[in-house]
Amino acid sequence: MVHLMAGEAARHLLDLDVITFITAGDPYQKHDIPLSDRDHRWEMTQLGIDGIDYFEADDREVRRAGPSYMIDTLATFDEDEEIFMILGADAAVGLPSWHRWEDVVDRTTVAVISRPGVAEEEVAATGAPYIWLDTPGIPISSTML
């Protein structure tokens, strides 16, 4: 539900036609956190967007073996595709810990959904270029779902 609300807000604020939800296959930074298995998360993604014609689900990470690195996922898109990477502010402050994060932010437009307890200045401190989307805060992180 949180992802859908964030997607809806980003679609409206950025005037996007489609929001694509990419389910992580093996989220390498969350190995110490209990997660549903990849197939279950993929099914939840499909069920969550069912009936919303401007949302689509993409399983390219679920199908790929090994850790899910965003830079590898981005390499599977056409070079001329414009990609907005929508993140909660809590995830955005962690961008510098991502594998090849500078390449990720060079390839995408980072759109950051405001979150309670995370100031925009914390996101700015990462040095990553971003668009701040000031939305009503959602006090649950995606990891908690």
Considering the domain boundaries, does residue 124 fall inside one?
A: yes
Considering the domain boundaries, does residue 52 fall inside one?
A: yes
State residue 145's pLDDT score.
Answer: 41
State residue 16's pLDDT score.
Answer: 97
pTM: 0.87
Residue 132 domain boundaries: 2-138
Q: With beta carbons less than 8 A apart as the criterion, state whether 87 and 113 touch.
A: yes
State residue 137's pLDDT score.
Answer: 58
List the pLDDT tens digit at each of the 145 positions of the chain.
678 889 999 999 999 999 999 998 887 777 677 778 889 999 999 999 999 999 999 999 999 999 899 999 999 999 999 999 999 999 999 999 999 999 999 999 999 999 989 999 999 999 999 999 998 655 545 444 4
Considering the domain boundaries, does residue 95 fall inside one?
A: yes
Considering the domain boundaries, does residue 143 fall inside one?
A: no
Task: List the CATH number of the domain containing 122.
Answer: 3.40.50.620
State residue 140's pLDDT score.
Answer: 47
State residue 56's pLDDT score.
Answer: 97
Considering the domain boundaries, does residue 65 fall inside one?
A: yes
Q: State the alpha helices, DSSP H only, in 22-119.
A: 38-49, 60-63, 70-74, 89-92, 101-107
Considering the domain boundaries, does residue 120 fall inside one?
A: yes
List beta partners, residue 109. Answer: 84
50-60 per-residue burial string, b: 16 or more CB within 10 A, e: under 16? eeeeebebbbe
Considering the domain boundaries, does residue 104 fall inside one?
A: yes
Residue type, 121: E
Considering the domain boundaries, does residue 144 fall inside one?
A: no
Domain count, the chain: 1
State residue 38's pLDDT score.
Answer: 84
